[in-house]
Each structure stands twice: as C-alpha cells, then as structure tokens.
Amino acid sequence: MKILVLENNPQELEKIRQILNENRDILIPLESSEQIWSHLQSEEFCFLIANWDTSDIRHSQFIARARAAKPTESLYIILITTKSSDEDLAPSGADDIIQSPFRARDLNDRITMAERIISLSRSLASARVQLENQAVFDTLTGFMNQPAFFRQSAGELERARRESEPLSLIAFDVDNFKIINDSFGVATGDEVLRVVAQVIREKSRPYDCIGRWMGDEFVILLSGVIGADAEKIAERVIAGVRGTMIEVKNEAPLMVKISAGIASASRITASTEIEPLIQQARQAMAHAKQAGGNQVFLVFV
C-alpha cells in the first residue's frame, strides 16, 4: 500500500520508512499539505501519516478541507504528536493519533489496523457500487432496467413537453426467441440478447435513453425525432442484427432477426404520458411480428 508521510524531521521520517519497509508498504514523503491534493485526486483511497506539531497540516486546515472534498471512508489519517491533551486534538478530524516519542511496534500496530479498515472500506465501497448498479442496470445487457428506464423516459417526456419537441419511442423484440431458447439453451439465448443489445447501442445516439423492458424486449426513447427519422434508426438496428451470426456448437451459425414498433408524437401535450406511449410502441412491435417479423411498424400518436 502507498502511504503518504508528512514529516519534516529527517530522523523521524527514516524511522517511519523502516517500519513501512518491514510491512512492504511504499512511503511517499511530502513537504507540505498542498502536495497531498494530487494524490487525493488520483487515488481511490488515501492513507496519510502526518506530524501534527511540525508540519503545516494544522494551520492549513487541510483535514477539514479534505473531509469536505472527499468521502470520509476514502481518506485515512494518522497524526503523530507530542500533545496529550484531548482539547488540543479533538478538532483534528484524524482517524487515529499516536503520541511521540513512539515505539516502532506501536506505529506498526496502528498501520496494520488502518490497512484492515481501508481494506474493509474498499470492499464496502465496491459492494455499494454493485448494489447501486443492480438497482439501475440490467446485468446481462448493461442497459437500464425497466424501473430505471421508466423514470428516465418520464423525465425526457417532461423536457420535450416544456420545449415543445417531438419524441418517438421504439420497442424491439427478438423474433422467435422462445424457439431459440428451447432449441439451443438459455446460454445461447443470453448471447443473442447481448449481441442485440450491442447492435442497439452502436446504432443509436450516445445520449439516447435505452432500456431492457422485459425478456427479449428493448426500448429506446428518441428525443427530437419523429416519423421517418425514427424508422431509419429502427431499420439500422434491424439490419445490424440481421448481419450478425451467433456461433452454436455442432450447429450452423444462428441468424437472429428482430422486429420493431414505433410510437411517434409530433407534439407533447399535457395529457401525454410515458406509459401509454411505451404500450403503443409495444403494440406496434407486435403488429410488425404478426406481419412476418424482421420489419418496422410505425404509428403516430
């Protein structure tokens, strides 16, 4: 682990260096608290040992500023000081304080404890990110899940209403997906969905709102797009999927096809709601499938 050390006494710095070498930690010496900022910006977690008495860390108000700028669990600080009064040290904001002079074993124990806490903080932060992503994104395709898409598209609808912009919603569905799953297995079905999702991402605009609605259905909200322009986007996706083949063990490559339905609104009124728009696009998509699939059906609403 990289440990920043703000210690102006060369003898004390060398003492800390020897302790860190025993733990195989990397010491990064600093001369002032301002030098810490670049490390805070580049490191996800930061471990700092600083001398409260001889460095500028107290007068620069560094700890208070760093706590305000970076999550508390991302910055661990051990202060070294000759002071023993709680009143002198209470406002410091440090995670741990060791009184000088100290034995090598004392600091070593504090560092070991700190590294365990940092490791736990990293694990908790990683778990929190995973939970947050699961609450928003579909794990198979990386698109927004249904609740997240509904929230995001509702916001886009409201923006279109305020700015008097047109709006289109495309619903996609994989043709004969149940047959693919039953014939080749769930793993092949999942690969089909991943490939379709990749094509949708490549053929749509970077800022478009895209979601996996359910099963093999996908939805795209196109702000500022209406009618024929929405059809062109849907046709690009259909052509992209049609040009992709899925390798299947001991079988000929699987050619995938999809159908699309578009609900297009030239004017968003006070009565326009996102849920009916999604359902109208899905009904148009069902019409395209009934007509033989691998095509687009457009309705104006």
3-state secondary structure of 79: strand
CA dist., res. 82 & res. 79, Å (int) = 10
Whether the model clears a pTM of 0.95, i.e. scores above it, the answer is: no
pLDDT given for residue 33 in this prediction: 87
Whether the pLDDT of residue 111 is over 60: the answer is yes
Q: What are the tens digits of pLDDT across the range 194-219?
A: 999 999 999 998 889 999 999 999 99
Residue 298 near residue 262 (C-beta atoms within 8 A): yes
Q: What are the tens digits of pLDDT across the range 82-97?
A: 876 555 555 567 888 8
Residue 172's pLDDT band, with cuts at 50, 70 and 90, is: very high
pLDDT given for residue 43 in this prediction: 66
- Mean pLDDT along residues 40-53: 81
3-state secondary structure of 6: strand
pLDDT given for residue 250 in this prediction: 81
Residue at token pair 């998509």: 285
Helix spans in the chain (H): 10-22, 36-42, 62-69, 86-89, 104-136, 146-163, 177-184, 186-203, 228-242, 274-290
- Mean pLDDT along residues 162-177: 93
Quick one: DSSP state of residue 294? S
pLDDT given for residue 292 in this prediction: 94
Distance from the first to the final alpha carbon of the chain = 60
